[in-house]
Amino acid sequence: MAVFLKPFTCKHCQKPHSSWERFASHSKRHSIKYAMINRDKKRCQCGSMFCQKCSASTDQLEHVPCQEKMVTDLEKPFQCAFCEKFFKHYSKLTRHVRIHTKEKPFQCKFCQKNYQRKDSLTEHIRTHTKENLIKCEYCQKCFTRNSSLKLHIRRHTKEKPFHCDYCSKRFTVKAELIKHVRTHTKEKPFQCDYCNKCFSTDSYLKVHIRFHTNEKPYHCDYCQRSFAASGDLKKHVARVHKKERRFQCHYCKKFLCTNNYLKVHIQKHNIEMSEEF
């Protein structure tokens, strides 16, 4: 008898779903529904929500407002059904929900690449049209944003303004520092919805999920093989097609394709030397 797993459960109505896509589509309806409801509400100091039109409580049948004083909730009336974050404008909620649903409705007419946000597409198109690009004074490389140029320039100046409180390491980008700090704290805030395994970065989680979905977006230009991670594709091309051997053993001076192969190779030397003694 076949068993159909439905690992994705809606926290609002407890409806289970067999795939992330169906779960995301379902949860998006909750976001729209809550946005329309919350638009006409105000909140009591204790957290209870009340409708402005009829003064009826939406989460308690009987409720006495704290000191008869109501606090308006009109500043951020639109709530995300995925993470319960509030937004001031419905358009910002719609844009935020795409982070959860993975929707990318804006497509580049030059290369068909898709984006979640229109402004991201606009910046990308400038790389094709070469309009309003900002040039690096050191190497003449061009960028679409000042922030990207600023980070790039730090690679020339070797500036590393972000330092770790646990060790002496410094970083060019704050995101790199946050990722590094988790090696000290052992924090793993990103959890897989399929198997509940946790990861220290969002990128590690994305690659892991592809092993569940069997998605392999990185294709080899030399053969028909595809890979879940870009790093695996690079290793494949270097090892199989380009025959690159950049990693040298300091014992026998032999070159290996990857650092992992080098480590295994060095272990053989260590075993041989330990047997001699």
Q: Is residue 257 one of the residues assigned to a domain?
A: yes
Whether 246 is in a domain gets the answer yes
**pLDDT of res. 171:** 93
Q: Let me know if residue 179 belongs to a domain.
A: no
Alpha-carbon distance of 152 to 159, in angstroms, equals 10
Note whether 105 and 114 are within 8 A (CB): yes
Q: What is the pLDDT of residues 114-123, one digit of tens each?
A: 998 888 898 8
- Residue 8's φ and ψ, nearest 5 degrees, are -105, 110
Tell whether the model's pLDDT for residue 264 goes beyond 80: yes
Structure tokens of 185? 């704290």
Report pLDDT for 163: 94
CB 139 within 8 A of CB 156: yes
pLDDT at 180: 93
In 3-state terms, what secondary structure has residue 52? coil
Residues 6+ apart with CB under 8 A from 48: 57, 59, 60, 63, 65
Length reported for the chain: 277
The reported pTM is 0.49
Residue 85 covered by a domain: yes
Q: How far is it, in rounded angstroms, from Cα 125 to Cα 110?
A: 8
Report the C-alpha gap between 104 and 246 in whole angstroms: 38
pLDDT at 56: 45
Q: What is the pLDDT of residue 45?
A: 46
d(CA 132, CA 124): 12
Mean pLDDT of 217-243: 88
Which of residues 101, 124, 156 is at a domain's end?
101
Q: Is residue 248 part of a domain?
A: yes
Query: Which residue type is seen at 153?
Result: I
Instruction: Kindly report the average pLDDT of the chain as a whole number.
Output: 77
Q: What's the pLDDT score for residue 244? A: 74
Q: Is residue 256 part of a domain?
A: yes
Per-residue pLDDT of 53-97, as tens digits, reads: 444 444 443 444 443 333 334 467 777 777 778 888 878 888 888
Residue 32 pLDDT > 80, yes or no?
A: no
Print the domain residue range for 245. 240-272
Number of domains in the chain: 2
Any domain includes 122? no
Q: How do residues 33-42 score in pLDDT, each as one tens digit? A: 554 444 444 4
Question: What distance in Å separates the CA atoms of residue 108 and residue 172, rounded to the nearest whole number?
Answer: 30
Q: Which residue has the tokens 């690659």?
A: 207
Please tell me the predicted confidence (pLDDT) of residue 253: 85
Q: What angle do CA 43, 44, 46 make, to 5 degrees?
A: 120
Q: Is 5 left (phi over 0), alpha (psi -120 to 50) or beta?
A: beta
- What's residue 261's pLDDT? 82
CB atoms inside a 10 Å sphere around CB 262: 19
Residues 3-15 pLDDT 10s: 445 666 776 677 7
120 within some domain: no
Q: Which residues pair with 190 in a beta bridge?
A: 199
Query: Are the C-beta atoms of residues 200 and 184 closer than 8 Å to each other?
Result: no
Of 245, 275, 232, 254, residue with least CA distance to 266: 254
Residue 247 forms beta bridges with which residues?
256
Residue 240 near residue 254 (C-beta atoms within 8 A): no
pLDDT digits 0-9 by tens, 156-203 = 999 999 999 999 999 999 989 999 999 999 999 888 888 889 999 888
Q: Is 151 helix (H, G, I), strand (E, B) or coil?
A: helix
